[in-house]
Structure 1
Amino acid sequence: MARGRKVETGVKRDNKGRILPKGISQRKDGRYIWRYTYNGVTFKPVYSWDLQELKRYAEEERVKIAKGCHIEPSNITLNEYFYYCQETYKKDKLKERSYKNNNDYWGWYVRDYIGKKRLQSIKPDDLIRHYHWLQNREDKPISYSTTVRVNSMINEVFERAVKRDLLMKNPAYKVLEDVSPIKMGKKKIALTEEQQARFMEFVSCHRFYKYHKNLFTYLFGTGCRVGEACALCFQDINFDDNYITIYKTLYFFKGDENVKGEKRIGSTKTENSTRTLPMLSDVRTALMEQMELQKAAKQKCCESVKSVHDVKDVVPLEDHYNNFVFLNNNDTPYTPDYVTGIIKKIIKSYNKAENINAEKENRKPILMPDFSSHNTRHTFATRCKELKLPKDNISRWLGHKTEGNNTTDIYIHTENWKDIKDDVETLNKMIIK
């Protein structure tokens, strides 16, 4: 007698032969559906093409329903679904500061406005009106680039809602085609050679601001990000072989409004940002002078800054850092906001003095434009271009991705940085100090 296949009673399988858990079945079109009833209440079914994703969702929702914190898709707001997506999909994938930046942007431009509306009630016209209002409001209108970023966040939320069958269509899809870029924000500038020279001369001669001269020499002479400059430690500098290793950044983190913020060290913005840079002669002089100044003043950092580790770190970070190159009067490391504040004060002092001198000399004042620490990167890149450096080499200096190059391999090992080491002779023609 032929042996027949064992009959499985009460067991459901999908078209790939996988056993389906209780409450989940597969439709003829291949989609999976989860149905659930709790205490006599039947909840709206949820569909997904991904079985594993639906199983995870079902398990989470069962717990929420049992705790009484489940939200029906028909009632969920844009805010609620955004924070759900942040917690579920983003928290373990984004760096700490990126995760916080997302929440900050949402709080500034979405949460108290369209974020309160029900997810299923939002139409494309609602988003268009919201973006127009943000761009034209009297109090802090936003630029078009900020509008693009806000829409990108909203679009991602709706895409997930469509994927989970909470919505039929994404109302944010191509909605920016009907939003005019009427507010372009401040144009990013690079200082001219004359402006850069005037700025550095004013800083060098000022009785207070001359303390920061070496920092600005470093920023103008490397093109590094301000957070990377704040995180620079003396062990990152090799004076014998004349190079600097950039692999970390310093930032100020405040996760909760009621919690005091703190300085933290993290890995650089991207893998390409981890790099080894040869020192220009002015930069080398400034860093050696900074080291001698600290020794002469017996200045020692009184703050140990904690590192935030990430599995994607190209260079493993130490748990704490305290041997910082740039310290303020309180013997603590600079922060990016602190540097930006210094620049604003210097510009204000410079323009005030220039107006007085111009009036005395009966001439038109040559004022310093408003700029931030990030504009020092633009200035460095512009000087490089003026000196006819190859575009790929400029990208390597700045820590940007270059086409066809694994920049991590180039910068993390000192034996692989010869392609930009040759730039030093050309770049030394720049007048920084």
Structure 2
Amino acid sequence: MKSKKDTKGRNLKLGEDQLKSGRYRYRYTDCTGKRIAIYSWRLVKTDKNPSEKRKSALSLREMIKNIEKDKDDGILTYEAQTITVYQLIRRYLKSKVTLANSTLQNYIHLTEKNIRPHNLGQMKVSNVKKSDIKNFFSYLYTERHFAVSTIQLYQNIFFPAFQMAVDDDLIRKNPCKDCMKEYIRGGLSTTKYPLTRAEEAALLKFVKDDTIYSVYYPMIAFMLGTGCRIGEVIGLTWDDIDFENATLSINHQIIYKKKNGKIRHYASAPKNGTSRIIPLSDDVLDILLLYKQRTYFMSITNDYEVDGYSNFVFLNQNMTLYTPNTLTRAFHNIRNAYNRFVEDGEIKDVLLPDFTAHTFRHTFCTRMAENGMDIKVLQEIMGHKTIAVTMQVYNHALFERKQSEVARIPSALAV
């Protein structure tokens, strides 16, 4: 059989041809039986691209070589060329039946709000490169001004979704690998750094004494003294506190997200689906007792209820529950007000860094680690799913203790 030739007189292989436009085409059948065509303006790598045409990323022969390798390795190239990133993520989230409902709803919200409408969300999975993921993170950081911890949530969605595509033989490698590296400045950078002892003391004193922000003192002290998550704090009821035995029962949390098409508060199981009992220190008990004397009657006579839960401990001025965003704004305002006093010389103390409810949780964990609490006990109190999460904080605190001890005692060379 006579071989077909291109316009340069070169023999074309089986499945190859050249269109009237000059563009090269290769047609083949993939491992699922689907008929597929690929195109390039260049036959081989050394060919020049027509000046008036968009540069081909790969020549036809290079593309064929990759296809043959994919076929040999069982990579389902065609499906990866038809499914979008958004569709891949939805497929992944649908498979996560053991994921905490609050986490799942948060991931769905992030996907629908910022991934689906973005160009990345509509890209075909096979076309996504590492640079596309990194450019998306750059967009979130520079244009949307998202915190690193928020960008990490998107990485938590992207990475396992693309890894599922790798495991399903849709793509050869995960483009999300190491995409967060440039945002990480040390092992604890994906969460807020804890407050130092001096910062914690300064914050508590300021909030307790301030005429405007003292309303937040019991809640902030409670978070710093228990390490509870924000949803657990918002959902705390007086029935969860056993004053006689000095314990706190974490058996639910309150989430503020869209559910059934409406943004509202709703009750959910604690994160990781596990309830826990937290012993309360004397100072936290004293703060709660004093707060109960001032607010308990208003709480129990209030008919406010969320999915069967009532008698909430921390209610806003409207006698309803706070939202996480409202508290975040309040904490920003507290920090700014305090720092203005310091800068004006009215308070002679340390400046405060920006902080969130998670900063308080991280601070509690760090204080307990610094004080030498048993690592397994600390994991139970924090409600961490694995001890590895607790160990990250524990080892960091241990290293700082080592540094302070080395600085305190004379050098081993001082003989």
Normalised-by-shorter TM-score class: 0.5 to 0.7
Match 2:243 to one of 239, 249, 261: 239
Q: TM-score, normalised by structure 2?
A: 0.64
Q: Residues 170 and 301 (structure 1 numbering): CA distance in 2 closer, same or farther, change over 3 Å?
A: farther
State the distance in 1 between where 2:151 and 2:311 align.
40
The alignment of Structure 1 onto Structure 2 pairs a total of residues equal to: 310
After superposition, where does 1:91-106 map in structure 2 within 5 Å?
Answer: 92-106=97-111
Match of 1:263 in 2: 265
State the distance in 2 between where 1:391 and 1:181 align.
28
Q: TM-score, normalised by structure 1?
A: 0.62
Give the deviation of 1:254 after TM superposition: 1.3
Q: In 2, are the aligned partners of 1:77 and 1:117 still within 8 Å (CA)? A: yes
Match of 1:82 in 2: 89
1:207-243 Cα shifts (integer Å, max 9, x gaps): 2222222112211111111211111111111112221
Match of 2:320 in 1: 332
Question: Where in structure 1 are there 5+ consecutive unaligned residues?
Answer: 1-32, 37-70, 307-319, 405-433
After superposition, where does 1:41-60 map in structure 2 within 5 Å?
Answer: none
Question: Where in structure 2 are there 5+ consecutive unaligned residues?
Answer: 1-30, 35-77, 389-415
Match of 1:418 in 2: none
1:390-412 Cα shifts (integer Å, max 9, x gaps): 222222222225669xxxxxxxx
Give the deviation of 1:262 after TM superposition: 0.6
State the distance in 2 between where 1:115 and 1:108 align.
11
Match of 1:48 in 2: none
Q: Is 1:127 matched up with 2:109?
A: no
Q: Residues 262 and 296 (structure 1 numbering): CA distance in 2 closer, same or farther, change over 3 Å?
A: closer
Query: Quick one: higher RCO (CA 8 Å, sep 6+), 1 or 2?
Result: 1
Give the deviation of 1:128 after TM superposition: 2.6
Q: In 2, are the aligned partners of 1:135 and 1:143 still within 8 Å (CA)? A: no
Match of 2:231 in 1: 227
Give the deviation of 1:268 after TM superposition: 1.0
Match of 2:304 in 1: 303
Match of 1:53 in 2: none
Give the deviation of 1:80 after TM superposition: 2.9
State the distance in 1 between where 2:209 and 2:148 align.
40
RMSD: 3.5
After superposition, where does 1:402-417 map in structure 2 within 5 Å?
Answer: none
Q: Is 1:341 matched up with 2:329?
A: yes
Q: Residues 74 and 278 (structure 1 numbering): CA distance in 2 closer, same or farther, change over 3 Å?
A: closer
Match of 2:291 in 1: 290
Give the deviation of 1:374 after TM superposition: 1.0
Q: In 1, are the aligned partners of 2:227 and 2:382 still within 8 Å (CA)? A: yes
Match of 1:203 in 2: 207
State the distance in 2 between where 1:161 and 1:182 align.
25
Query: Which amino acid is 1:375 matched to?
Result: T
Q: Percent identity?
A: 25
After superposition, where does 1:23-62 map in structure 2 within 5 Å?
Answer: none
Q: In 1, are the aligned partners of 2:100 and 2:272 still within 8 Å (CA)? A: no
Query: Which amino acid is 1:234 matched to?
Result: W
Match of 1:399 in 2: 383
Give the deviation of 1:371 after TM superposition: 0.9
Query: Which amino acid is 1:264 matched to?
Result: Y
Query: Which amino acid is 1:76 matched to?
Result: I
Query: Which amino acid is 2:184 matched to?
Result: M
